[in-house]
Amino acid sequence: MSAKPMTITRLSLYNLRGKPFRSGSLMAVVLILAFALFGGSVLSASLKNGLSALEGRLGADIAAVPLGYENSYQGIILSGEPVKFYFDKSIEQKIKKVDGVEKVTSQFYLSTLSADCCSVPVQIIGIDPNTDFVTKPWIAEVYHNELKDGQMIIGSDILPKKDNTLTFFNQKFTIVAKLEKTATGMDNSVFVNVSTVKSLAESAKQRGLGTNAEVQEADLENSISSVLIKTKKGIDLDTVATNIRRSVDGVSLVKSKNLFESFSNNLDIINSFVGIFSLALWILAALVLTLLFSVTINNRKKEFSVLRILGATRRKLAGAVLTESLILSITGSVVGILLSAIVIFPFSTLIGEQLGLPFLLPGVDDTLGYLLIAFLLAVVAGPLSAIYSAVKISRTETYVTLREGE
């Protein structure tokens, strides 16, 4: 049986298998680089997507809530944290008359302490179909009819029963649509019309089911939780806010612009850090690989001398060094990207919670693009770092190399 020819690839594989620790050390550098490049790209894209989703869901320029509840309102928007707070319905009309206000709509909030669909409390948001301009545009993406009494539209993270219903406070409701993922509090919320939510709150109040002091003490028929405000074009937002404060007592104002800009600034900081860190890591990895290849080549001088004596050309030796670096880079890149995906994709919700920012994973096409870029950048680092060593070993005379390797 004839022996297989010793090609550059086969020679490189034999060398890598013969020194597993050396090969593993070189591969680990590329692995870390690929992990950081792919993970950083997906992280930045997810935060950008989350911020865009948040901007699209805000709708109103200003939100008016009971005095002292601005943080609770932000909790609804960002995380869907169940809350309930109320003030008099007449405030809506007072705000509507303020100079600079174009239109207003009210919402009514009710939270459940337990439900057969969820392991955590659920935020129920009652909207006024006659005046709503905030939720209607993005609800229309999944449901084109009027939201009737007893019907619900659920966020993407709410799990319905098999018969496509939910039960709250011993009342069953039909689910007519499910919203797309947004990485905001809307994913953990349920939307009904204001008539349904007030009927539900009244029923819960009478039965004493999962209601707190705010619900028990509120005049539900004449209460609302927030007034969402659209200002007239060309009028300064701060001026309108000042007019509202002067005209209406007992309210706190949350400006969507301030909320969005706060997260936008945080995102810019994170993106800058990821970019600088990725560049620095690539340069560091290239330097480390260059050093490691140089050291390993010096330790292998005798090996290369023997190969030269056996007939291997200088070009073949240089090719073997570059092929080894390419194999290590490809393997390290694949493993690094795979590990990064295992960390990011299953735990995206937890990552978003820890960062305190909306976190919406990119689509398949974008993800594949980030994967390809990270793979190429990581793979090219190995051969580039090995060029110096490959050129050096190809230019050294066999006798000198053999003497230095003794």
Domain boundary among 201, 217, 249: 249
Same domain, 206 and 298: no
Residues 223 and 290 in one domain: no
- Same structural domain for residues 273 and 334? yes
pLDDT, residue 62, reads: 92
| Residue 256 belongs to some domain of the structure | no
Q: Say what the pLDDT of residue 387 is.
A: 79
In terms of domains, do 83 and 216 share one? Answer: yes
Give the count of beta carbons closer than 10 Å to the beta carbon of residue 76.
25
- Whether residue 1 lies inside any domain: the answer is no
Evaluate whether residue 62 is within a structural domain: no
Domain that holds residue 84: 68-249
DSSP 337: H
Whether residue 63 lies inside any domain: the answer is no
Tell how strand 101-112 and strand 251-255 pair up: unpaired
pLDDT-flagged residues of the chain (< 70): 1-19, 56, 113-121, 207-218, 297-319, 389-406
Query: 13 and 84 in one domain?
Result: no
Q: Are 16 and 143 in the same domain?
A: no
**Helix pair 364-395, 20-58: axis angle to 10 deg:** 150
Residues 100, 144 within the same domain: yes
Q: Please tell me whether residues 27 and 108 are part of one structural domain.
A: no
- What is residue 9's predicted lDDT score, i.e. its pLDDT? 63
| Separation between Cα atoms, residue 160 and residue 365, nearest integer Å | 30
| 36 and 82, same domain (yes or no) | no
> 365 and 387: one domain?
yes
Task: Give the whole-angstrom CA distance, residue 71 versus residue 77.
Answer: 10
Residue 1 pLDDT: 43
Whether residue 3 lies inside any domain: the answer is no
- Four-residue CA torsion sign, 257, 260, 263, 266: negative
Domain count, the chain: 2
Whether 243 contacts 100, CB under 8 Å: yes
Pair 203, 89 in one domain: yes
Q: Are residues 235 and 330 in the same domain?
A: no
